[in-house]
Chain A
């Protein structure tokens, strides 16, 4: 139990998906211009992350591993993720139209979001149990959301500030991301002490 929460919180705060593991940086930089898009993407990421963990985990441990085909994980995982995304899109469109409206257009983009494949691979690499793998995926998704949410605010502020010509646009955004990353470093020792 304690293990689960330790994983959950350390993935959200210390090993933040975007700010310290550098997964999903592309969408982080691309979509944080306004709150609506970034939240749509975040919901989609959390959702796809959980579902594809639930799918890839058994595939790896009951199919690939016993057959000695562990090396095929990259190919299989990416295909599974792509297929999952397709199925999810169809299902959500039918069953939960409001949710689909919120994240519909972001679903197809997620296949090539390295955050998803990255978290799947990390779950396997760390040999988490199924529950812990789900927790780590949930934490990763929440961490992504948190980073997106905070950064939308930062960028709104950046838009109105006076920046040297060459730094306009992306460079200033990256420097701001660096400062946000420093802020997250502050969580360093917290989790260890909280759960020790």
Chain B
């Protein structure tokens, strides 16, 4: 990942528009669609998610030389699940209402593709500081994305924003459009926002809509295959079979054991 000077600020900023985890990489779609019925839910989910991502990146980056390659995925999952349990407790204690409205999507942060993806693609090859910046960037990008989606859906669907009544919603005047609060509206708004980010990326970074960045760095990214760490893992163990579904999305196993140890050793 580039040289050190570039990385720290770059790792942070890239997560916001250029490689926004939700709208560009299209990871973590399940919670994004489910909890964004209001701005406050989106924000809460984003913050909880950022915390887990940050902590898991730190822990995994710190342990990257201790965890044997062959059991790394189960090890990561255990670390992440424990962190999620901590977050669940914190939310229950301090914001019981938020905990209620996010429901099962808090424990489901465990299986969010972004966290495992960042662990696999970034934290296990980079130092702690770079991993923190990467996690913060991705976390802030995801939080802003959820806030944007939640805000839009709340304003359009319920005519409020963070619970405040919108001035143009009135008896007999303009009415909120109920469908945006329902699952169908979630899909539609998400689609439109992905298209918008395609356009922005096209204008700012002259990147074509279908031209998604080097997928080896983003396991689980967009389109063809999600859960790519597992595609990679099974590709590594079973050879040709897994190629069938990874067509184009994950050209080769992301971390060959040798490659990883060499790249982490020349970092220090």
Contact = CB atoms under 8 A, between A and B. Distances in A.
B110 A165 contact: no
B16 interface: no
Interface in B27-86: 27, 29-31, 33-34, 74, 77-78, 81-82, 84-85
A166 B197 CA distance: 9
Interface string A87-112: 00000000000000000111011011
B226 interface: yes
A118 B30 CA distance: 10
B210 A114 contact: no
Contact of A166 (B116, B183, B202, B222): B202
B84 A74 contact: yes
Interface in B214-257: 220, 222-227, 229-231, 233-234, 238, 241-242, 244-245
B127 interface: no
Given A27-B227, A125-B104, A105 B81 contact: no
B183 A170 contact: no
A113 interface: yes
Contacts of A33: 224
Interface in A141-176: 164-175
B190 interface: yes
Nearest to A164: B195
Contacts of B111: 78, 111-114, 117
Contact of A182 (B31, B116, B184, B195): B184
Interface string A49-85: 0000000000000000000000111110011001000
B241 A114 contact: no
A109 B108 contact: no
Contacts of A75: 78, 81-82, 85
B30 A74 contact: no
B30 A169 contact: no
B85 A72 contact: yes
B155 interface: no
Contacts of B176: none
Nearest to B247: A33
Contacts, number: 167
A4 B160 CA distance: 39
Given A166-B198, A185-B184, A117 B26 contact: no
Contacts of A175: 187-188, 191-192
Contacts of A37: 244-245
Contact of B104 (A31, A121, A165, A185): A121
Nearest to B116: A112
Nearest to B238: A105
A190 interface: no
B233 A29 contact: no
A26 interface: yes
B113 interface: yes
B14 interface: no
Given A26-B29, A114-B30, A166-B209, A178 B107 contact: no
Residue among B84, B183, B209, B220 with the highest chain A CB neighbour number at 10 A: B183
A105 B209 contact: no
Interface of A: 19-27, 29-31, 33, 37, 71-75, 78-79, 82, 104-106, 108-109, 111-114, 117-118, 121-122, 125, 164-175, 177-179, 181-182, 185
Given A105-B245, A174-B190, A182-B184, 9 more contacts: A22-B29, A22-B30, A75-B82, A109-B230, A112-B111, A166-B196, A167-B191, A168-B209, A175-B188
30 contacts: A23-B34, A23-B108, A26-B30, A29-B226, A30-B225, A37-B244, A72-B85, A74-B88, A75-B81, A75-B82, A78-B81, A79-B81, A82-B77, A106-B245, A112-B111, A112-B113, A113-B227, A118-B30, A125-B103, A166-B198, A167-B198, A169-B223, A170-B222, A174-B194, A178-B186, A179-B184, A181-B182, A181-B183, A185-B182, A185-B183
